[in-house]
Amino acid sequence: MTKGQRKANGSFALSESPSHLLKRCAQFFGDLYAHESGSTDLTKQQFTLLAALEHNEGVTQTALVELTGIDRSTLAEMVRRMLDKGLLSRERTEEDQRANAVAISPSGRKALRAARTASDRAEKALLDPLPPSERQKFVLFFKREYPDWRRAGSNRYSRKAARLARWETRPSRA
């Protein structure tokens, strides 16, 4: 929390909260994507899943959780629905018969191409308010400041990190 977020009377200013502003930015992008995708059948999260698989064909669902930041139970349900629609294929891995390797089907690739166009338009609309010279800096800031974003999206990692942060900031009892 930055010093400017607390007002003199102790109240909290959401308009000054980086976490709130980032959440609102993500919500705004979701609205832009929904508008731009129109008739496509892919949600923003389904698009994210297919985009991750495009460069990581045949990875396990556990790896997809790490790659996308989508929680395990949500991802499992998404995969099930996308299998039913014919967008994905899934088979047991040779290394571990309990794990599923997921791949994009030809129908999934077609849907990904259509959704990518919508996503590109939504991202352009998201960045349009920034001066052209600031757009690349905006993206580079997040890539530079949060290089370990894959793990940060994992619930398991987030809980451990929160516990560690609380432990490290506890006052000494000595």
Average of pLDDT values for 50-62? 91
| pLDDT at residue 153, rounded to an integer | 47
In a domain, 89, yes or no: yes
Average pLDDT in the chain: 81
What percent of the chain shows pLDDT beyond 70? Answer: 76
In a domain, 123, yes or no: yes
In a domain, 81, yes or no: yes
- Tokens representing residue 70 in the block: 């989508």
DSSP 7-31: -TTS-B-GGG-HHHHHHHHHHHHHH
In a domain, 147, yes or no: no
CA-to-CA dists, residue 116 to 18, 48, 51, angstroms: 28, 10, 8
Q: Which amino acid is at 146?
A: Y
Please give the residue range of the domain that contains residue 116. Answer: 26-129
Give the dihedral of Cα atoms 70, 153, 31, 107; nearest 10 deg. -40
Interval 83-142: pLDDT, tens:
999 999 988 877 777 888 899 999 999 999 989 999 999 999 999 999 998 999 988 887
Interval 123-139: pLDDT, tens:
999 999 999 989 999 88
In a domain, 13, yes or no: no
CA-to-CA dists, residue 92 to 49, 55, 143, angstroms: 19, 19, 34
| pLDDT at residue 171, rounded to an integer | 52
- The residue assigned the tokens 């698989």 is 53
Q: What is the largest CA-CA distance in the chain?
A: 63
| pLDDT at residue 164, rounded to an integer | 42
In a domain, 31, yes or no: yes
In a domain, 117, yes or no: yes
Order across the sheet with 59-60: list the strands. Answer: 59-60, 100-104, 88-92
CATH of the domain at 123: 1.10.10.10
In a domain, 21, yes or no: no
As for how many domains the chain has, the answer is 1
Q: How many residues does the chain have?
A: 174
- Tokens representing residue 169 in the block: 């900031």
